[in-house]
Amino acid sequence: MERLVVLGGGESGVGTAILGKQKGFDVFVSDKGSIAERYKKVLLHNAIDFEENQHTKSKILNANLVMKSPGIPEKVALVQKLMVAGVKVISEIEFASKYTNATIVGITGSNGKTTTTLLAHHLLKQGGLDVGIGGNIGDSFAKQIAEQDYKEYVLELSSFQLDGIEEFNSHIAIITNISPDHLDRYDYDFEKYIASKFRITKNQTEKDFLIYDADDKAIQNWLKNNKVKAKLVPFSIEKELEFGAFLRQDKIIMKLNTEEVLMNVSELALKGKHNTKNAMAASMAARLLQVRKNTIAESLSDFEGVEHRLENVQKINGVQYINDSKATNVNAVYYALECMEAPTVWIVGGVDKGNDYTDLMPLVREKVKAIVCLGLDNQKIIETFQNVVEVMVETAGAEEAVKVSHKIAKKGDAVLLSPACASFDLFDSYEDRGNKFREAVKNL
């Protein structure tokens, strides 16, 4: 019996363990931290051997195959030891894909992944397809294959997940955009990060499709210098295209087999230029899978947005409070500030991932009246913006940040939590940060 060791007892780890056991592996789950109670129950219920708060090397190094959770870097000593010993170390996506014949729509990019994934899933479901959603969202891909294999999947894929693929393939791959993010995992080398995103095209053939943002410089440059076998399907809001999706007088046009007017931008449920692009990408994926144009247009106009992404929390004394806690990098904040129409009190900060804030300078000058720092180390933010905004305050928690913002903001202003950073200095996750922000607003 082949031994499958799963490193990490979270969603992807436990899903892999369930599928591995079902497929006849001798499965062992090992987590350096503690495993959440709900996952422990699942492992016990399935009689899967596990350990927490340690890695017992003798139980790991004898593996035939190792599935590493995406949060564990390859540079970790234990992973390096496995590789030197010639043990194959793969991602959950790679492992699970061997056990399904489903058509996969894989979505990656620095920003817009979650929205585009949810949108594409919504369009395919409304189009009558038997479709699951996974990757970074909801139940793990592996668990779904074990319990109720769908005919199609829409998967949100991070660069960390793509780093662990060998044979996995998306029939339709979408790259929403590429901007510097997670550079701490890529030796602070943007080119390595770009190459990691393009691993989504690694196993594509001439029968597959790559949908991508034709306005994105990093994507354009990579495609100029590298060959992709898949059919290229671009989208743009800056220029008309001979093939793909683009804007003409505020109408979204799709040119795949024939030219079709999809809908007016004003009819989209999600506002902002970035969401127009997300809608274009998701629509073309749906159209390539034979969903009717009218179904797509209807579904785009009734779609509800993503939690913690430009989410209107409440209006108090004429001040709109907006939760954009999911904006964990500079590019995501760029989109958020671009959407702001009122003078903005911007709450920013957290664990810096190698951010360069200079791209935000024109928007901060134009739209931001005050900056409220929310992080343990705000030095970089202060140095960048101290001569740009008049008011800058440091705070040490969501409640304090909201109270300070409340004092600064006047009727007609907006208070925007859009941190540009990871959350782990003060919070468990970006969701936890967003929830605490919401709570603090409700307690004003």
Instruction: Report yes or no: 137 and 106 within 8 Å, Cβ to Cβ.
Output: no
Largest CA distance in the chain: 68
Q: Which of 150, 130, 128 is nearest to 139 (CA)?
A: 150
Measured between alpha carbons, how far is residue 365 from residues 103, 155, 289 in Å? 46, 37, 44
Q: Which helix (H) or strand (E) holds 160?
A: helix 159-163
Q: Which of 234, 233, 242 is nearest to 208 (CA)?
A: 233
Q: Give dist(CA 113, CA 157) in Å, integer.
A: 8
439 — phi, psi (to 5°)? -60, -45
135: annotated binding-site residue? no
Q: Give dist(CA 419, CA 238) in Å, integer.
A: 28
113: annotated binding-site residue? yes
Instruction: Report yes or no: 68 and 44 within 8 Å, Cβ to Cβ.
Output: no
205: annotated binding-site residue? no
112: annotated binding-site residue? yes
Q: State how beta strands 231-235 and 251-255 pair.
A: unpaired
Q: Give dist(CA 38, CA 50) in Å, integer.
A: 14
- Which amino acid is it at 163? D
140: annotated binding-site residue? no
239: annotated binding-site residue? no
Apex CA 273: angle with CA 271 and CA 274, to 5°?
Answer: 95
Q: Give dist(CA 103, CA 170) in Å, integer.
A: 7
Q: State how beta strands 368-374 and 344-348 pair.
A: parallel
Q: Give dist(CA 244, CA 257) in Å, integer.
A: 10
116: annotated binding-site residue? no
175 — phi, psi (to 5°)? -115, 110
- For residue 273, how many other CB atoms are within 10 A of its CB? 15
Apex CA 431: angle with CA 320 and CA 52, to 5°?
Answer: 170
Q: Binding site for ATP: residue ranges?
A: 109-115
Q: Binding site: residue ranges?
A: 109-115
